[in-house]
Amino acid sequence: MITRDQAIALRDLLREQGRPWAPVNGDRFMVADAIDLDDVFVVADMTIEVHNLPTGSLIRFNGTTEWALDSIGLERAVWLPWEHQLRDLLGERFVSLERLPGDPVGWAVMLDDGSRHVDIDAELALLRALGITVAE
């Protein structure tokens, strides 16, 4: 899974491109300004729902959660995309995701411009392909 800092960098890049996150069921996210930075939530019917209001989108926490949150503004949430969502963000530029042999096993993303982006984790290789800096 990508880190909070990488997710924030991705959020900022997508906002610059005019492609902000529009949450759907199954999306993972963190609360950007949370005290406990490790809590990961998943949007799901009946438990964590997104409500679009005239004043902006709210993420509502229903029932009992360890934080006992009622709701937060979407701007406080940081999306943690899954591998397939990162591939979708690359769009037509994405050519392939290849598992590389070795110990440890790595992953390579090929783009239509011939560039190759390699990392030990598929999600991190996809982030590299999107232009997000991944710590060495």
Phi, psi of 6 (to 5 degrees): -65, -40
- pLDDT, residue 72, reads 81
What is the rounded (10 degree) CA torsion for 110, 116, 118, 121? Answer: -20
User: In this predicted model, what pLDDT tens digit does every residue of 70-114 receive, in sequence order?
Assistant: 778 888 889 999 999 999 999 999 999 999 998 788 999 999 999
Contact status, residue 42 vs residue 92, Cβ threshold 8 Å: no
User: Cα dihedral sign for 98, 101, 107, 113?
Assistant: negative
- Per-domain residue ranges for the chain? 4-81, 84-130
Q: What is the pTM of this model?
A: 0.81
pLDDT tens-digit map of 26-35: 999 998 877 6
pLDDT at 58: 82
H/E element holding 9?
helix 4-16
